[in-house]
Amino acid sequence: MSWEPKIVGFLCNWCSYRGADLAGIARIHSAPNVRVIRVPCSTRVEPSFVLKAFRSGADGVLILGCHPGDCHYIEGNYKTMRRVPLLKKMLAQFGIEEERLRLSWVSASEGAKYASIVNDMTEKVRALGPLNLNNAGGKHGKD
């Protein structure tokens, strides 16, 4: 069986989740590789959620939130904007490529943008191949 990238998508309830909904209603074709988790705000996504997703077998993690200035909670997405680059910098030290974590802004009216982000990320992760954290250093788990 051929390998398909597994991507966990954390979508903000107020904008991006609705953008994803719109993509579905408008029947815009997008890759079926994203497992969507609805969160109240992109800043609800603690860095540990991202690590846990990778640990649990995700090949990529997609975080989508409201455009800067549009946050339902006024400044949640700004906090996400600060965390993700630092998390990416740290993940590089763990051998996890930058393209495996993506933060983008998708509003409720941007169904087409949602679809294009999902397609683009799926192809980038496909090109990187499986993350395969369970064989990270040769041996993993109890030696």
Partner 1 sequence: MAKIKLALYWAASCGGCEIAQLQIGEKILKLIEVADIVFWPVAIDVKYKDVEAMPNQSIDVCLFNGAIRTSEQKHMAKMLREKSKVLIAYGACAYNGGIPGLANLYNRQMIFDRAYLETPSTLNNEKTIPQTKYQAPEGILTIPEFFDTVHSLAQTVDVDYIIPGCPPEERTTWLALESLIENKLPPRGTVISHNAKAVCDDCPRKKDVKKVTKFYRPFQIIPEPEICLLEQGLPCAGMCTRGGCGAPCPQANMPCTGCYGPVEGVTDQGSHFLSALASVIDSNDPDQIQKIIDDIPDPAGTFYRYTLPQSLLGRARIK
Q: Interface residues with partner 1 (CB under 8 A)?
A: 46-48, 50-52, 54-55, 68, 75, 78-79, 81-83, 85-87, 89-90, 93-96, 131-133, 136-140, 142-143
Instruction: Determine the Cα–Cα distance for residues 133 and 111; give it in Å rounded to an integer.
Output: 32
Looking at beta carbons only, is 35 or 82 nearer to partner 1? Answer: 82
> Quick one: 32 or 135, whose CB is closer to partner 1?
135
Cα-to-chain-centroid distance, residue 107? 16
> What is the DSSP-derived secondary structure letter of residue 3?
-
Q: Pick between residue 8 and residue 50 the one whose CB is nearest to partner 1.
A: 50
For 60, 75, 94, the CA distances from 97, given in Å and listed in that order, are: 9, 28, 9
Find the shortest distance in angstroms from Cβ 32 to partner 1: 26
